[in-house]
Structure 1
Protein backbone atom coordinates (compact mmCIF):
# COMPACT_ATOMS: atom_id res chain seq x y z
CA UNK A 1 0.00 0.00 0.00
CA UNK A 2 1.37 3.41 -0.97
CA UNK A 3 1.45 6.24 1.56
CA UNK A 4 -0.70 8.46 -0.67
CA UNK A 5 -3.72 7.19 -2.59
CA UNK A 6 -2.62 6.94 -6.22
CA UNK A 7 -6.13 6.16 -7.49
CA UNK A 8 -7.89 9.18 -6.02
CA UNK A 9 -7.61 12.66 -7.60
CA UNK A 10 -5.88 15.31 -5.53
CA UNK A 11 -8.95 17.55 -5.83
CA UNK A 12 -12.33 16.77 -7.34
CA UNK A 13 -15.96 17.82 -7.31
CA UNK A 14 -17.65 16.72 -4.10
CA UNK A 15 -19.29 13.31 -4.11
CA UNK A 16 -22.66 13.03 -2.39
CA UNK A 17 -22.08 9.51 -1.00
CA UNK A 18 -20.74 10.63 2.38
CA UNK A 19 -19.65 8.45 5.28
CA UNK A 20 -21.55 8.51 8.55
CA UNK A 21 -19.07 10.82 10.28
CA UNK A 22 -19.19 13.26 7.35
CA UNK A 23 -22.99 13.46 7.43
CA UNK A 24 -23.13 14.69 11.03
CA UNK A 25 -23.95 18.40 11.07
CA UNK A 26 -24.12 18.52 7.28
CA UNK A 27 -25.06 21.96 5.94
CA UNK A 28 -26.87 22.04 2.58
CA UNK A 29 -27.23 25.30 0.66
CA UNK A 30 -29.44 25.69 -2.40
CA UNK A 31 -30.25 28.93 -4.19
CA UNK A 32 -32.77 28.82 -7.02
CA UNK A 33 -34.74 31.39 -9.00
CA UNK A 34 -37.62 29.79 -10.84
CA UNK A 35 -36.23 26.70 -12.51
CA UNK A 36 -32.67 28.02 -12.62
CA UNK A 37 -30.31 26.87 -9.89
CA UNK A 38 -27.83 29.61 -9.01
CA UNK A 39 -25.92 27.71 -6.36
CA UNK A 40 -26.17 24.31 -4.75
CA UNK A 41 -23.63 22.67 -2.48
CA UNK A 42 -23.19 20.94 0.86
CA UNK A 43 -20.66 21.44 3.62
CA UNK A 44 -19.53 18.89 6.18
CA UNK A 45 -18.38 20.11 9.55
CA UNK A 46 -14.81 19.93 8.26
CA UNK A 47 -15.81 22.12 5.31
CA UNK A 48 -17.54 24.51 7.69
CA UNK A 49 -14.34 24.77 9.72
CA UNK A 50 -12.36 25.61 6.58
CA UNK A 51 -14.89 28.26 5.60
CA UNK A 52 -14.87 29.72 9.11
CA UNK A 53 -11.11 30.13 9.06
CA UNK A 54 -11.17 31.45 5.51
CA UNK A 55 -13.48 34.26 6.62
CA UNK A 56 -11.40 34.95 9.74
CA UNK A 57 -8.14 35.12 7.77
CA UNK A 58 -9.69 37.41 5.16
CA UNK A 59 -11.07 39.74 7.83
CA UNK A 60 -7.78 39.96 9.75
CA UNK A 61 -5.39 40.52 6.87
CA UNK A 62 -7.64 42.78 4.77
CA UNK A 63 -8.24 44.99 7.81
CA UNK A 64 -4.50 45.11 8.53
CA UNK A 65 -3.83 46.08 4.91
CA UNK A 66 -6.47 48.73 4.30
CA UNK A 67 -7.97 50.14 7.51
CA UNK A 68 -6.16 52.78 9.62
CA UNK A 69 -6.84 51.08 12.94
CA UNK A 70 -4.14 51.02 15.61
CA UNK A 71 -2.16 47.81 15.99
CA UNK A 72 -3.09 47.46 19.65
CA UNK A 73 -6.82 47.63 18.91
CA UNK A 74 -6.45 45.15 16.06
CA UNK A 75 -4.43 42.82 18.27
CA UNK A 76 -7.24 42.77 20.82
CA UNK A 77 -9.98 42.23 18.26
CA UNK A 78 -8.18 39.54 16.33
CA UNK A 79 -6.99 37.69 19.42
CA UNK A 80 -10.58 37.33 20.59
CA UNK A 81 -11.79 36.40 17.10
CA UNK A 82 -9.00 33.86 16.63
CA UNK A 83 -9.68 32.22 19.98
CA UNK A 84 -13.39 32.06 19.14
CA UNK A 85 -12.51 30.52 15.79
CA UNK A 86 -10.30 27.97 17.54
CA UNK A 87 -13.15 26.95 19.84
CA UNK A 88 -15.48 26.76 16.84
CA UNK A 89 -12.98 24.57 14.98
CA UNK A 90 -12.73 22.16 17.91
CA UNK A 91 -16.51 21.93 18.25
CA UNK A 92 -17.03 21.38 14.52
CA UNK A 93 -14.29 18.80 13.98
CA UNK A 94 -14.13 16.91 17.29
CA UNK A 95 -16.38 13.98 16.33
CA UNK A 96 -14.82 13.56 12.88
CA UNK A 97 -11.23 13.51 14.13
CA UNK A 98 -12.18 11.03 16.85
CA UNK A 99 -13.72 8.64 14.33
CA UNK A 100 -10.80 9.03 11.93
CA UNK A 101 -8.25 8.72 14.78
CA UNK A 102 -6.75 12.08 13.84
CA UNK A 103 -7.16 14.10 17.01
CA UNK A 104 -3.44 14.85 17.04
CA UNK A 105 -3.89 16.93 13.88
CA UNK A 106 -6.51 19.05 15.62
CA UNK A 107 -4.17 19.49 18.58
CA UNK A 108 -1.38 20.57 16.22
CA UNK A 109 -3.55 23.28 14.67
CA UNK A 110 -4.69 24.52 18.08
CA UNK A 111 -1.09 24.76 19.29
CA UNK A 112 0.06 26.53 16.11
CA UNK A 113 -2.81 29.03 16.22
CA UNK A 114 -2.33 29.87 19.90
CA UNK A 115 1.43 30.17 19.39
CA UNK A 116 0.82 32.55 16.49
CA UNK A 117 -1.57 34.70 18.52
CA UNK A 118 0.82 34.89 21.48
CA UNK A 119 3.80 35.84 19.30
CA UNK A 120 1.73 38.40 17.38
CA UNK A 121 0.45 40.05 20.57
CA UNK A 122 3.89 40.10 22.16
CA UNK A 123 5.41 41.70 19.07
CA UNK A 124 2.76 44.45 19.17
CA UNK A 125 2.43 45.13 22.89
CA UNK A 126 6.13 44.76 23.71
CA UNK A 127 7.38 46.42 20.54
CA UNK A 128 9.35 43.49 19.16
CA UNK A 129 10.17 45.18 15.88
CA UNK A 130 12.07 42.29 14.31
CA UNK A 131 9.09 39.99 14.76
CA UNK A 132 6.51 42.66 13.97
CA UNK A 133 7.87 43.15 10.45
CA UNK A 134 7.80 39.38 9.93
CA UNK A 135 4.23 38.63 10.99
CA UNK A 136 3.16 37.66 7.48
CA UNK A 137 5.91 35.08 6.86
CA UNK A 138 5.41 33.83 10.42
CA UNK A 139 1.71 33.09 9.84
CA UNK A 140 2.37 31.55 6.44
CA UNK A 141 5.05 29.38 8.02
CA UNK A 142 2.76 28.26 10.84
CA UNK A 143 0.04 27.46 8.31
CA UNK A 144 2.50 25.52 6.16
CA UNK A 145 3.53 23.45 9.17
CA UNK A 146 -0.13 22.77 9.96
CA UNK A 147 -0.83 21.65 6.40
CA UNK A 148 2.21 19.37 6.40
CA UNK A 149 0.96 17.74 9.62
CA UNK A 150 -2.50 17.39 8.07
CA UNK A 151 -1.06 15.91 4.89
CA UNK A 152 0.97 13.43 6.91
CA UNK A 153 -1.93 12.39 9.14
CA UNK A 154 -4.48 12.11 6.34
CA UNK A 155 -1.92 10.86 3.83
CA UNK A 156 -3.19 13.59 1.54
CA UNK A 157 -1.34 15.10 -1.40
CA UNK A 158 -3.71 18.08 -1.43
CA UNK A 159 -2.81 19.26 2.06
CA UNK A 160 0.88 18.55 1.51
CA UNK A 161 0.83 20.70 -1.63
CA UNK A 162 -0.99 23.42 0.32
CA UNK A 163 1.92 23.44 2.74
CA UNK A 164 4.37 24.00 -0.11
CA UNK A 165 2.08 26.72 -1.53
CA UNK A 166 2.32 28.62 1.73
CA UNK A 167 6.12 28.30 1.67
CA UNK A 168 6.08 29.73 -1.86
CA UNK A 169 3.92 32.53 -0.46
CA UNK A 170 6.69 33.38 2.00
CA UNK A 171 9.14 33.73 -0.89
CA UNK A 172 6.70 35.92 -2.84
CA UNK A 173 6.33 38.38 0.03
CA UNK A 174 9.65 40.03 -0.80
CA UNK A 175 8.30 40.95 -4.25
CA UNK A 176 4.96 42.51 -3.28
CA UNK A 177 6.26 45.57 -1.45
CA UNK A 178 3.68 47.03 0.91
CA UNK A 179 1.02 44.47 0.01
CA UNK A 180 2.27 41.72 2.29
CA UNK A 181 -0.85 41.53 4.45
CA UNK A 182 -3.15 41.33 1.44
CA UNK A 183 -0.95 38.69 -0.20
CA UNK A 184 -0.85 36.63 2.99
CA UNK A 185 -4.61 36.91 3.40
CA UNK A 186 -5.21 35.80 -0.18
CA UNK A 187 -2.94 32.76 0.11
CA UNK A 188 -4.42 31.63 3.41
CA UNK A 189 -8.09 32.45 2.79
CA UNK A 190 -8.26 31.15 -0.78
CA UNK A 191 -6.61 27.87 0.23
CA UNK A 192 -9.17 27.37 2.98
CA UNK A 193 -12.15 28.22 0.78
CA UNK A 194 -10.92 25.84 -1.94
CA UNK A 195 -10.70 23.01 0.59
CA UNK A 196 -14.24 23.83 1.73
CA UNK A 197 -15.63 23.78 -1.81
CA UNK A 198 -14.04 20.63 -3.25
CA UNK A 199 -13.27 17.06 -2.22
CA UNK A 200 -9.64 16.38 -1.38
CA UNK A 201 -7.75 13.12 -1.40
CA UNK A 202 -7.34 11.16 1.79
CA UNK A 203 -5.93 7.70 2.40
CA UNK A 204 -7.72 6.77 5.60
CA UNK A 205 -6.22 4.10 7.83
CA UNK A 206 -8.99 4.25 10.41
CA UNK A 207 -10.94 1.15 11.39
CA UNK A 208 -13.73 3.32 12.86
CA UNK A 209 -13.67 1.86 16.36
CA UNK A 210 -16.15 4.47 17.58
CA UNK A 211 -18.83 3.49 15.05
CA UNK A 212 -21.43 0.79 15.47
CA UNK A 213 -21.61 -2.22 13.16
CA UNK A 214 -24.51 -0.66 11.24
CA UNK A 215 -22.59 2.58 10.81
CA UNK A 216 -19.54 0.70 9.56
CA UNK A 217 -21.65 -1.19 7.02
CA UNK A 218 -23.16 2.12 5.93
CA UNK A 219 -19.66 3.50 5.35
CA UNK A 220 -18.72 0.44 3.31
CA UNK A 221 -21.74 0.94 1.05
CA UNK A 222 -20.93 4.64 0.66
CA UNK A 223 -17.35 3.76 -0.25
CA UNK A 224 -18.60 1.40 -2.95
CA UNK A 225 -20.87 4.12 -4.34
CA UNK A 226 -17.97 6.57 -4.47
CA UNK A 227 -15.85 4.03 -6.33
CA UNK A 228 -18.56 3.69 -8.98
CA UNK A 229 -18.46 7.43 -9.67
CA UNK A 230 -14.67 7.72 -9.86
Structure 2
Protein backbone atom coordinates (compact mmCIF):
# COMPACT_ATOMS: atom_id res chain seq x y z
CA UNK A 1 0.00 0.00 0.00
CA UNK A 2 1.26 3.47 -0.91
CA UNK A 3 0.95 5.29 2.41
CA UNK A 4 2.23 8.51 0.83
CA UNK A 5 -0.94 8.76 -1.24
CA UNK A 6 -3.06 8.39 1.90
CA UNK A 7 -1.06 10.98 3.81
CA UNK A 8 -0.86 13.52 0.98
CA UNK A 9 -4.30 14.02 -0.62
CA UNK A 10 -4.21 15.29 -4.18
CA UNK A 11 -5.71 18.64 -3.20
CA UNK A 12 -2.74 19.50 -0.94
CA UNK A 13 0.94 19.88 -1.78
CA UNK A 14 3.53 19.01 0.86
CA UNK A 15 6.49 20.41 -1.10
CA UNK A 16 6.53 23.80 0.67
CA UNK A 17 6.38 24.77 4.37
CA UNK A 18 2.98 25.29 5.97
CA UNK A 19 3.95 28.80 7.13
CA UNK A 20 7.25 30.65 6.91
CA UNK A 21 8.64 34.13 7.28
CA UNK A 22 8.16 36.44 4.32
CA UNK A 23 11.04 37.62 2.23
CA UNK A 24 12.34 41.17 2.39
CA UNK A 25 10.12 43.92 1.00
CA UNK A 26 12.51 44.29 -1.95
CA UNK A 27 12.91 40.60 -2.72
CA UNK A 28 9.50 40.35 -4.36
CA UNK A 29 8.61 41.68 -7.78
CA UNK A 30 6.44 44.77 -8.12
CA UNK A 31 2.84 43.53 -8.22
CA UNK A 32 -0.38 45.57 -8.61
CA UNK A 33 -1.59 46.83 -5.24
CA UNK A 34 1.45 45.56 -3.35
CA UNK A 35 2.30 47.28 -0.05
CA UNK A 36 5.97 47.37 0.91
CA UNK A 37 7.02 48.06 4.51
CA UNK A 38 10.71 48.72 5.20
CA UNK A 39 11.85 50.31 8.44
CA UNK A 40 15.55 50.89 8.91
CA UNK A 41 17.61 52.55 11.65
CA UNK A 42 20.98 53.40 10.23
CA UNK A 43 22.31 50.16 8.77
CA UNK A 44 20.01 47.96 10.84
CA UNK A 45 16.77 46.75 9.28
CA UNK A 46 14.00 46.80 11.88
CA UNK A 47 11.23 45.45 9.67
CA UNK A 48 11.07 44.53 6.00
CA UNK A 49 7.95 42.85 4.67
CA UNK A 50 5.18 43.15 2.09
CA UNK A 51 1.43 42.71 1.79
CA UNK A 52 -0.26 41.46 -1.37
CA UNK A 53 -3.93 42.20 -1.84
CA UNK A 54 -4.72 38.78 -0.41
CA UNK A 55 -2.70 39.78 2.67
CA UNK A 56 -4.52 43.10 2.81
CA UNK A 57 -7.89 41.32 2.84
CA UNK A 58 -6.66 39.12 5.69
CA UNK A 59 -5.43 42.19 7.59
CA UNK A 60 -8.79 43.86 7.13
CA UNK A 61 -10.80 40.91 8.43
CA UNK A 62 -8.37 40.35 11.29
CA UNK A 63 -8.90 43.91 12.49
CA UNK A 64 -12.68 43.77 11.98
CA UNK A 65 -13.05 40.45 13.84
CA UNK A 66 -10.93 41.54 16.79
CA UNK A 67 -12.70 44.90 16.99
CA UNK A 68 -16.25 43.52 16.88
CA UNK A 69 -15.83 40.79 19.48
CA UNK A 70 -13.58 42.76 21.81
CA UNK A 71 -15.95 45.71 21.93
CA UNK A 72 -18.91 43.33 22.37
CA UNK A 73 -17.10 41.97 25.43
CA UNK A 74 -16.53 45.32 27.13
CA UNK A 75 -19.06 47.79 25.65
CA UNK A 76 -22.25 47.26 27.63
CA UNK A 77 -24.72 48.98 25.34
CA UNK A 78 -27.95 47.94 23.68
CA UNK A 79 -27.54 44.74 21.64
CA UNK A 80 -29.66 46.11 18.84
CA UNK A 81 -27.38 49.14 18.46
CA UNK A 82 -24.36 46.83 18.36
CA UNK A 83 -26.07 44.62 15.77
CA UNK A 84 -26.62 47.64 13.50
CA UNK A 85 -23.03 48.85 13.90
CA UNK A 86 -21.43 45.44 13.37
CA UNK A 87 -23.70 44.63 10.42
CA UNK A 88 -22.58 47.87 8.78
CA UNK A 89 -18.92 47.14 9.51
CA UNK A 90 -19.21 43.61 8.14
CA UNK A 91 -20.85 44.91 4.95
CA UNK A 92 -18.07 47.48 4.53
CA UNK A 93 -15.46 44.72 5.04
CA UNK A 94 -17.20 42.47 2.50
CA UNK A 95 -17.34 45.25 -0.11
CA UNK A 96 -13.65 46.05 0.49
CA UNK A 97 -12.79 42.37 0.10
CA UNK A 98 -14.67 42.25 -3.21
CA UNK A 99 -12.79 45.31 -4.46
CA UNK A 100 -9.43 43.86 -3.46
CA UNK A 101 -10.29 40.56 -5.11
CA UNK A 102 -11.90 41.72 -8.33
CA UNK A 103 -9.15 40.17 -10.50
CA UNK A 104 -9.10 36.90 -8.54
CA UNK A 105 -12.27 35.94 -10.36
CA UNK A 106 -10.19 35.15 -13.44
CA UNK A 107 -9.28 31.88 -11.70
CA UNK A 108 -12.17 29.60 -10.75
CA UNK A 109 -10.84 28.30 -7.40
CA UNK A 110 -10.34 31.86 -6.14
CA UNK A 111 -13.68 32.98 -7.54
CA UNK A 112 -15.33 30.11 -5.64
CA UNK A 113 -13.49 31.13 -2.46
CA UNK A 114 -14.67 34.75 -2.67
CA UNK A 115 -18.26 33.71 -3.37
CA UNK A 116 -18.15 31.31 -0.41
CA UNK A 117 -16.88 33.98 1.98
CA UNK A 118 -19.53 36.47 0.84
CA UNK A 119 -22.21 33.83 1.42
CA UNK A 120 -20.82 32.94 4.87
CA UNK A 121 -20.58 36.58 5.97
CA UNK A 122 -24.14 37.31 4.82
CA UNK A 123 -25.39 34.14 6.51
CA UNK A 124 -23.64 35.04 9.76
CA UNK A 125 -24.96 38.60 9.77
CA UNK A 126 -28.53 37.50 8.96
CA UNK A 127 -28.57 34.85 11.72
CA UNK A 128 -27.02 37.27 14.22
CA UNK A 129 -29.49 40.05 13.43
CA UNK A 130 -32.46 37.68 13.55
CA UNK A 131 -31.29 36.47 16.94
CA UNK A 132 -30.94 40.02 18.26
CA UNK A 133 -34.03 41.66 16.80
CA UNK A 134 -36.39 38.69 17.13
CA UNK A 135 -35.04 37.58 20.48
CA UNK A 136 -34.00 34.11 19.36
CA UNK A 137 -32.42 32.90 22.56
CA UNK A 138 -30.58 29.94 21.04
CA UNK A 139 -28.77 32.21 18.57
CA UNK A 140 -27.99 34.84 21.22
CA UNK A 141 -26.50 32.22 23.54
CA UNK A 142 -24.36 30.79 20.75
CA UNK A 143 -23.11 33.81 18.82
CA UNK A 144 -19.46 32.97 19.51
CA UNK A 145 -19.74 29.29 18.47
CA UNK A 146 -21.72 30.39 15.40
CA UNK A 147 -18.95 32.67 14.15
CA UNK A 148 -16.17 30.22 15.00
CA UNK A 149 -17.96 27.58 12.92
CA UNK A 150 -18.54 30.05 10.05
CA UNK A 151 -14.87 31.06 10.02
CA UNK A 152 -13.70 27.46 10.42
CA UNK A 153 -15.79 26.24 7.49
CA UNK A 154 -14.65 29.21 5.38
CA UNK A 155 -10.96 28.57 6.03
CA UNK A 156 -11.27 24.82 5.43
CA UNK A 157 -13.02 25.45 2.12
CA UNK A 158 -10.38 28.03 1.19
CA UNK A 159 -7.65 25.56 2.07
CA UNK A 160 -9.06 22.89 -0.23
CA UNK A 161 -9.76 25.25 -3.15
CA UNK A 162 -6.35 26.98 -2.89
CA UNK A 163 -4.49 23.76 -2.07
CA UNK A 164 -3.25 25.42 1.10
CA UNK A 165 -2.58 23.44 4.26
CA UNK A 166 -2.10 26.75 6.10
CA UNK A 167 -5.70 27.87 5.51
CA UNK A 168 -6.98 24.39 6.39
CA UNK A 169 -4.94 24.50 9.61
CA UNK A 170 -6.39 27.91 10.52
CA UNK A 171 -9.86 26.49 9.85
CA UNK A 172 -9.23 23.62 12.26
CA UNK A 173 -7.81 26.11 14.78
CA UNK A 174 -11.05 28.11 14.68
CA UNK A 175 -13.14 24.97 15.11
CA UNK A 176 -10.91 23.87 17.98
CA UNK A 177 -11.72 27.20 19.60
CA UNK A 178 -15.18 25.77 20.32
CA UNK A 179 -13.61 23.68 23.07
CA UNK A 180 -12.13 26.80 24.67
CA UNK A 181 -15.39 28.74 25.01
CA UNK A 182 -16.86 26.72 27.92
CA UNK A 183 -13.58 27.18 29.80
CA UNK A 184 -13.41 30.97 29.47
CA UNK A 185 -17.12 31.30 30.32
CA UNK A 186 -17.98 35.03 30.51
CA UNK A 187 -14.95 35.96 28.39
CA UNK A 188 -16.27 34.15 25.32
CA UNK A 189 -16.51 37.25 23.13
CA UNK A 190 -12.95 38.30 23.86
CA UNK A 191 -11.68 34.75 23.26
CA UNK A 192 -13.57 34.55 19.96
CA UNK A 193 -12.18 37.90 18.86
CA UNK A 194 -8.63 36.81 19.65
CA UNK A 195 -9.01 33.44 17.92
CA UNK A 196 -10.58 34.80 14.74
CA UNK A 197 -8.50 37.98 14.63
CA UNK A 198 -5.06 36.54 15.40
CA UNK A 199 -5.49 33.56 13.08
CA UNK A 200 -6.35 35.88 10.17
CA UNK A 201 -3.52 38.30 10.98
CA UNK A 202 -1.17 35.31 11.06
CA UNK A 203 -2.03 34.57 7.44
CA UNK A 204 -1.35 38.20 6.51
CA UNK A 205 2.02 38.37 8.28
CA UNK A 206 3.48 35.02 7.18
CA UNK A 207 3.98 33.33 3.83
CA UNK A 208 1.67 30.37 3.39
CA UNK A 209 1.63 27.45 0.96
CA UNK A 210 -0.80 27.64 -1.95
CA UNK A 211 -0.17 24.70 -4.27
CA UNK A 212 -0.30 25.82 -7.91
CA UNK A 213 -3.28 28.16 -7.55
CA UNK A 214 -1.41 31.35 -6.68
CA UNK A 215 1.42 30.41 -9.03
CA UNK A 216 -1.15 30.52 -11.81
CA UNK A 217 -2.41 33.84 -10.50
CA UNK A 218 1.10 35.29 -10.55
CA UNK A 219 1.37 34.42 -14.23
CA UNK A 220 -1.49 36.87 -14.87
CA UNK A 221 0.42 39.90 -13.58
CA UNK A 222 0.43 41.49 -17.00
CA UNK A 223 -3.39 41.42 -16.80
CA UNK A 224 -3.46 43.34 -13.47
CA UNK A 225 -3.37 40.24 -11.28
CA UNK A 226 -3.89 40.69 -7.54
CA UNK A 227 -1.58 38.13 -5.95
CA deviation string 1:145-202 (max 9, x = no partner): 1011101101111111111111110111111110000010010000011000011011
The TM-score with structure 2 as length reference comes to 0.86
The TM-score with structure 1 as length reference comes to 0.85
Cα shift at 1:41:
1.5
What corresponds to 1:72 in structure 2? 80
Are the equivalent residues in 2 in contact too, given 1:99–1:210 (CA < 8 A)?
no
Are the equivalent residues in 1 in contact too, given 2:12–2:160 (CA < 8 A)?
no
Q: CA RMSD in A?
A: 2.5
1:12 aligns with 2:20: yes
Are the equivalent residues in 2 in contact too, given 1:54–1:189 (CA < 8 A)?
yes
CA change 1:210–1:188 in 2 (3 A) is closer
> Structure 2 residue aligned with 1:144, among 145, 148, 152?
152
Structure 1 stretch displaced more, 203-212 or 169-178: 203-212
Are the equivalent residues in 1 in contact too, given 2:23–2:49 (CA < 8 A)?
no
Structure 1 stretch displaced more, 109-118 or 36-45: 36-45
Aligned pairs for 1:9-158 (under 5 A) are 9-15=17-23, 18=28, 23-99=31-107, 101-158=109-166
Are the equivalent residues in 2 in contact too, given 1:100–1:204 (CA < 8 A)?
no
> Structure 1 residue aligned with 2:204, among 196, 207, 216?
196
List alignment gaps of at least 5 residues for structure 2. Answer: 1-8
Distance 2:20 2:108 in 1: 21
CA change 1:33–1:141 in 2 (3 A) is same
Aligned pairs for 1:197-216 (under 5 A) are 197-205=205-213, 208=216, 215=222
Paired residue total: 214
Cα shift at 1:37:
3.2
Distance 1:106 1:43 in 2: 19
What corresponds to 1:184 in structure 2? 192
Are the equivalent residues in 2 in contact too, given 1:108–1:146 (CA < 8 A)?
yes
Cα shift at 1:5:
1.5
Cα shift at 1:211:
5.8
